[in-house]
Amino acid sequence: MISKEEMQDKVAGAWAAKMIGVMYGREMEFKALGKTYEDSIPWTPTMVEKALLEDDIYGQLSFMSSLVKHGKGATTQLIAQDFANASFPLCHANLQARKNIFDGLVPPHTGAPIHNMHADDIDFQIESDFIGFIHPGMPQSSNAMADSIGRIMAYGDGLYGGMFVAAMHTLAFYEKDIPKIVSDALDAIPAQSTYAQCIKDVIDCHKKYPNDWYKTWEFIENKWAKHDICAPYHSFNIDAKLNGAYIVIGLLYGNNDLQKTMEIAIRCGQDTDCNSANAAAVIGLVHGYEKLPDVFKSHIPQIADRHFLHTQSSYNTAKIQTIGFIEDNIIRHGGKITEDSYYIKTQKPIFRGKLEQSFPNTVMSYEVRMKDPQHWTLLGTWKDFTYGDGDPDLYKVAHSPKDRLTIEFEGSGISLLGSWNVDAGMADVYIDDKFIRQIDTYYREEAGKYDVNRAYIFHETNLKPGKHKLTLTVAENKNPLSKGHKIYIERAMVYTEKQHQNR
């Protein structure tokens, strides 16, 4: 049983802490890559105001808006269409999912690794909080929703990250012991998954080094930080399990203190605002709004009715909507509501389903950039191109149908990285002279600038290990919306099976 007053306080605390957490870590985002962040972490109460502009919050509020809009008829496909056609920009797994939807795919195919090289990225983990918020004490029901919405952009560890974070939130409504929340939430995902193994390593290290989070960070860094295949040969890392480990390091070493929890999560580096926000939301649920420090929450009342960017939702309306969903879920799952209390039929965290891993035996072998012309054979009207403005890498851009590219490689997989664009065309891709598929590189805006956010215009990771040849030919046909036939390519990544690495 939870009183209505306590429930409202916890919901208010969850959304407030999410806002606080994202802004406490915002200035440090990706400033510490493969190392800990050691500089000062500034804070003034008015900084929380910029949370109204943050995708960490408006992204998941857009999913809530879809649930409100469609009511009982809210299918994953309808939610995906709203997500794809929203006005806000996206990156990585979310961006690939949107592109896949525009190309005619539907969930779960939009998040599946055969169509999404970013399937293990952090995206769903970032935006999964609301699923936990609306399922107090009901981690099985939370998992069911995560297994639906999460498949728009994620698979395997990318999906499990969202399930795990949401499960922690469901448990935090009742449980105050942070180590128990973390440990119990692990039961919501398969123990054999690499995500669960990574979090279990954090738990074990915390027991071994209870007063030294740096030692835990170092262990995780050495064991798990090289597993992200979506930012090739770059210390930038948006792998869900690595950033999930940073969330848990913050929680376990933060000793139930909001500021300490956020600070440690931030000092772990990488996606600091997202990790701080996920961790802070757990603390917000445990303590409720009234017990959050005034130095962090004092400015929230002044902005509580202002809309988050790209939404019609404010802090106050988010609280109201969350309570509405909570009440629906309590009744739907066997509980009851009285005049002043909620009686929830609580659930134990359980994972139901088969273990899935996105690229279980795939590692990066080497890369070939367009600045190394000896590796490429180009026929037709390929021209040099650079974006500039912080992205100096050389692209080659095809301009006409029948322009052709060939690259020979040795491995078990390959991807072509470049850009989607408003003037981009279609191309037929062959491996070893066998037609694989036609790709459409048109997108409603430029997507692929900066080496850590290249568009994967093609990938194939299930080849027999050995020597292969990839051929790309610009097609005669193109997307009716495209202004041209251009194909933008900046590099190729070659992959190998783990047992073939270093042979």
Q: Which CATH number is 425's domain given?
A: 2.60.120.260
Asked if the structure places residue 104 within a domain, the reply is: yes
Residues 168 and 288 in one domain: yes
What is the domain-level CATH number for residue 121? 1.10.4080.10
Residues 381 and 320 in one domain: no
DSSP for 145-199?
Answer: HHHHHGGGT--THHHHHHHHHHHHHHHHTT---HHHHHHHHGGGS-TTSHHHHHH
Determine the Cα–Cα distance for residues 28 and 41; give it in Å rounded to an integer: 8
What is the residue range of 461's domain?
A: 362-500
The two three-digit tokens of residue 114, written as one number: 């055969």
Asked if the structure places residue 81 within a domain, the reply is: yes
Mean pLDDT of 385-407: 96
The answer, yes or no, to whether residue 230 has pLDDT greater than 90, is: no
Asked if the structure places residue 279 within a domain, the reply is: yes
Asked if the structure places residue 174 within a domain, the reply is: yes
Summarize pLDDT for 272-302 with one digit per residue, the tens.
999 999 999 999 999 999 999 999 999 999 9
Residues 328 and 376 in one domain: no
Q: What is the structure's pLDDT at 498?
A: 81
Write down how long the chain is. 503
Determine the Cα–Cα distance for residues 218 and 455; give it in Å rounded to an integer: 31
Nearest C-alpha neighbor of 297 from the set 283, 312, 308: 283
Q: What is the structure's pLDDT at 503?
A: 37
Asked if the structure places residue 357 within a domain, the reply is: no
Summarize pLDDT for 306-327 with one digit per residue, the tens.
999 999 999 999 999 999 999 9
- CB of 90 within 8 A of CB of 444? no
Of 336-345, 358-367, 463-472, give the lowest mean pLDDT range.
Answer: 358-367
Residues 307 and 240 in one domain: yes
> What one-character DSSP code corresponds to residue 308?
P
The two three-digit tokens of residue 144, written as one number: 């069911």
Q: What is the structure's pLDDT at 450?
A: 87
> Model-level pTM?
0.96
Residues 337 and 230 in one domain: yes
Nearest C-alpha neighbor of 26 from the set 273, 311, 354: 273
Residues 307 and 423 in one domain: no
Dihedral in degrees, nearest 10, Cα atoms 78, 168, 329, 5: -130
The two three-digit tokens of residue 88, written as one number: 């806000």
- CB of 26 within 8 A of CB of 50? yes
Residues 35 and 162 in one domain: yes
Asked if the structure places residue 18 within a domain, the reply is: yes
Q: What is the structure's pLDDT at 226?
A: 81
Q: Indicate the burial class of 437 (C-beta count within 10 angstroms; 0-12, 13-18, 19 or more).
A: exposed
Asked if the structure places residue 356 within a domain, the reply is: no
Residues 339 and 370 in one domain: no
Residues 335 and 377 in one domain: no
Residues 406 and 303 in one domain: no
Determine the Cα–Cα distance for residues 416 and 39; give it in Å rounded to an integer: 37
DSSP for 100-122?
Answer: HHHTT--TTTTTSTTT-TTTTBS
The answer, yes or no, to whether residue 355 has pLDDT greater than 70, is: yes
More confident residue, 494 or 233: 494
Determine the Cα–Cα distance for residues 273 and 19; give it in Å rounded to an integer: 10
- For the chain, the average pLDDT equals 96
Summarize pLDDT for 428-460 with one digit per residue, the tens.
999 999 999 999 999 999 999 988 889 999 999
More confident residue, 227 or 239: 239
Residues 339 and 366 in one domain: no
Q: What is the structure's pLDDT at 502?
A: 44
Asked if the structure places residue 353 within a domain, the reply is: no
Reading across the β-sheet that carries 2-3, which strands appear in turn? 2-3, 341-343, 336-337
The answer, yes or no, to whether residue 356 has pLDDT greater than 80, is: yes
Residues 199 and 109 in one domain: yes
Q: What is the structure's pLDDT at 232?
A: 66
The residue type at 309: L
Mean pLDDT of 35-45: 98
Number of domains making up the chain? 2
Letter string b/e over residues 476-498, b meaning 16 or more CB atoms within 10 A of that residue's CB: eebbeebebbbbbbbbbbbbbbe
Dihedral in degrees, nearest 10, Cα atoms 246, 248, 253, 256: 130
Q: What is the structure's pLDDT at 367?
A: 94
Q: What is the structure's pLDDT at 23?
A: 98
The two three-digit tokens of residue 172, written as one number: 């935090």
